[in-house]
Amino acid sequence: MKRIVKDPTTRRAEILEAAGELFRNQGYVHTTVDAIIQKVGVAKGTFYYYFKSKEEILEAFVHSMVDTLCEEYKKIAADSTLPVMEKVRQMLRSQSYHLDKQAEWMESLHRPENRELHERLNIAIILKIAPVLAQVIEQGNKEAVFHVENTLETVQFLLAGSQFLLESGIFHWEKEEQTKRLQAMQMIIERSLGAAPGSFSFL
């Protein structure tokens, strides 16, 4: 049988996709390199040509998840026709759409066997998304909508706090409890950014 030779970008994407399916279905802890190789149907040498270890493919997979949202945020941030609050609204809509598409995946992140994947994902979000949001906050400073010093660090703290405390898969808040925390988050964001009270009431 003739061996099928694929474009390296395509082959790498196939290996990442196979690994992602295994991480989702059986967890990162229980996924082996051999299982990934078997699922995608390549030789072990082919796997190691693209990834040196299971840890490296985890890192690549996490960044592939975050990069999609990050690129959408960058497009919104770069649109010079949009005022800052419209950019914030569009970014939140984009995030909501992204999370809805990844609902099954997000649920699997809360399993113990995916704890490391979840932690790496949160770190990647802070490192990749925060600089884009900081760029938007700087625009808000220029428009006198926000009044923030240390914009990047402020955004990182807000992201880290919201990711953890509002994570339903961690705390399992009742609806009323979640609502109270969202209201508190609105107030914290407005005060941290020096924004007018009520300007983030759409959260």
pLDDT tens string 139-155: 999 999 999 999 999 99
pLDDT reported for residue 187 = 96
Question: Cα-flanking dihedrals φ and ψ of residue 19, to 5°?
Answer: -60, -40
Instruction: Supply the DSSP symbol for 113.
Output: G
Kindly report, as residue ranges, where domains of CATH 1.10.357.10 are found in the chain: 55-193
By three-state DSSP, how is residue 169 classified? helix
* Average confidence (pLDDT) over 35-47: 94
CATH architecture of 8-50: Orthogonal Bundle (1.10)
Instruction: Supply the DSSP symbol for 80.
Output: T
pLDDT reported for residue 2 = 45
pLDDT tens string 58-115: 999 999 989 999 999 999 999 999 999 999 999 999 988 887 777 777 788 888 899 9
pLDDT reported for residue 1 = 38
CATH number of 55-193: 1.10.357.10
Kindly report, as residue ranges, where domains of CATH 1.10.10.60 are found in the chain: 8-50
Residue 128 has pLDDT above 90, yes or no: yes
